[in-house]
């Protein structure tokens, strides 16, 4: 598989890791549901502790105990075979997490998601039973399973959907997502640098340069560093710019102030004090 495709899928999964940080769902990436290595892109598993995020992106309101996601970036098509693979992963995964093959967890505890950056024209042009719930959100009937289909390039521009917009393949929407998605774990935001590079590899015309992007990222997260780390590489002269003499001396005792003066000046001040 193309390395860029793997990167898109992994980074997409990492954004979901952040979305559910500290919640009652846990996100696992590249889950192996069978003996032969065939990886699920993302699994979102309900936990006992934690609470659901206050606002989920559109399309995720139907989460259950086990939520299996397949994701196709703009480089791949979401087609019938993708859906068949997802169903196969579901079968293997259900066996894996159930107490035994004779005591399978009920199918109601499993929700399948097919997420695609591009509109799956060929898939939805066929006589498949699907219902459009809202812009970019569909319910697709496949055999006896109902699959939630999310088309990221059609997701409305809204703060609620900022996470989806990071991966919808549009440079302007990516920038909107970077400005409006509220990261649960600031360390995860490093994903944005890699996503930015993937957009540039795609040939997308970004509204600003990577230097601008990194500068804004550092500026918005500088306060997270300890003061001593923020001042690394800053000379004493630069640190004191704009600081008045009164502010520089504030908090110092007279003895501490005199310590930095030449001996002859100290003697002179002592003589003045006597008189």
In a domain, 256, yes or no: no
In a domain, 237, yes or no: no
Q: What is the pLDDT of residue 231?
A: 62
In a domain, 261, yes or no: no
Q: Given a cut of 80, is residue 247 above it in pLDDT?
A: no
Count structural domains, the chain.
Answer: 1
In a domain, 273, yes or no: no
In a domain, 174, yes or no: yes
In a domain, 106, yes or no: yes
Mean pLDDT of 63-90: 92
Mean pLDDT of 120-147: 88
Closest by Cα among 9, 8, 56, 55 to 30: 9
Beta bridge partners of 69: 42, 113
The structure's pTM equals 0.68
Please give the Cα distance from 164 to 12 (Å, whole number): 9
Beta bridge partners of 102: none
Provide the domain limits for residue 126. 3-224
The mean predicted confidence, pLDDT, of the chain is 81
Q: Given a cut of 80, is residue 111 above it in pLDDT?
A: yes
In a domain, 264, yes or no: no
For residue 185, the surrounding DSSP H or E stretch is none
Side-chain half-sphere of 128: how many Cα atoms within 13 Å? 24
Q: What is the pLDDT of residue 217?
A: 58
Mean pLDDT of 162-188: 85
In a domain, 229, yes or no: no
Residue of 108 and 227 predicted with greater confidence: 108
Q: Given a cut of 50, is residue 3 above it in pLDDT?
A: no
Structure tokens at 99: 């107490």
Please give the Cα distance from 231 to 42 (Å, whole number): 40
Kindly state the percentage of the chain with pLDDT values over 70. 70
Split at pLDDT 50, 70, 90, the class of 76 is confident
Residue of 168 and 237 predicted with greater confidence: 168
Q: Which of 20-29, 147-156, 242-251 has the lowest mean pLDDT?
A: 242-251
Residue of 255 and 222 predicted with greater confidence: 255
């Amino acid at each position: 598989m193309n390395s860029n495709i793997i990167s898109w899928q992994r980074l997409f999964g990492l954004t979901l890791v952040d979305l559910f940080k500290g919640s009652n769902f846990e996100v696992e990436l590249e889950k192996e549901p069978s003996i032969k290595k065939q990886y699920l892109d993302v699994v979102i598993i309900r936990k006992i502790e934690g609470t659901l995020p206050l606002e989920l992106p559109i399309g995720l309101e139907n989460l259950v105990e086990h939520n299996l996601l397949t994701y196709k970036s703009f480089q791949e098509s979401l087609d019938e075979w993708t859906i068949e693979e997802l169903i196969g992963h579901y079968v293997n995964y259900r066996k894996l997490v159930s107490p035994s093959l004779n005591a399978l967890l009920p199918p109601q505890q499993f929700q399948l998601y097919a997420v695609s950056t591009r509109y799956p024209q060929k898939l939805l042009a066929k006589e498949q039973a699907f219902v459009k719930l809202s812009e970019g959100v569909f319910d697709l009937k496949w055999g006896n399973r109902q699959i939630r289909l999310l088309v990221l390039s059609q997701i409305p521009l809204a703060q609620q959907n900022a996470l989806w917009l990071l991966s919808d393949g549009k440079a302007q929407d990516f920038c909107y997502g970077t400005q409006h998605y509220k990261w649960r774990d600031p360390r995860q935001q490093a994903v944005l640098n890699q996503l930015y590079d993937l957009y540039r590899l795609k040939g997308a015309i970004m509204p600003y340069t990577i230097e601008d992007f990194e500068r804004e990222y550092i500026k918005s997260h500088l306060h997270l560093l300890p003061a001593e780390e923020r001042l690394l590489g800053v000379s004493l002269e630069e640190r004191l710019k704009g600081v008045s003499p009164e502010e520089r001396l504030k908090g110092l005792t007279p003895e501490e102030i005199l310590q930095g003066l030449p001996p002859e000046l100290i003697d002179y001040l002592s003589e003045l004090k006597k008189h």
